[in-house]
Amino acid sequence: MIRLYFDKSTPHLDKIARLFDIIGLYFDKSAHDFDKIARLFDIIRLYFDKSAHDFDKIARLFDIKGLYFDKSAHDFDKIARLFDIIGLYFDKSAHDFNKITQMFDII
């Protein structure tokens, strides 16, 4: 997944499929810890890709919000989510929608 993200020659269809795959991976309770860690890093990197489309950013936001409300999430997941939200807040180029969503997520 991480390699797919950094491959700039990857078609858009693959990137969209990857997004749905990582969202589905989170809800797959049988997924191994390595898979979950890889997904977290992939989501965090997606945010810092300035060329990412709005669809990608919106999907990432909903995934982070879902992560927060999953009471069975491990501590590592919650810590990674916190750092991602903090990074979102300090990104001055973030759109208003991002900041509003981020504020509600922290609350």
Q: What is the pLDDT of residue 89?
A: 46
Is 27:72 a contact under the CB 8 Å cutoff? no
Could you tell me the end-to-end alpha-carbon distance of the chain, in angstroms, rounded to an integer?
31
Q: What is the pLDDT of residue 1?
A: 39
Residues of the chain with pLDDT under 50: 1-6, 26-27, 68-69, 86, 89-90, 100, 103-107
Containing H/E element for 106? helix 96-106
Assigned token pair, 16:
């969209």
72 backbone dihedrals φ, ψ, rounded to 5°: -90, 0
Where would I find the H helices in 7-74? Answer: 12-27, 33-48, 54-69
Its pTM stands at 0.21
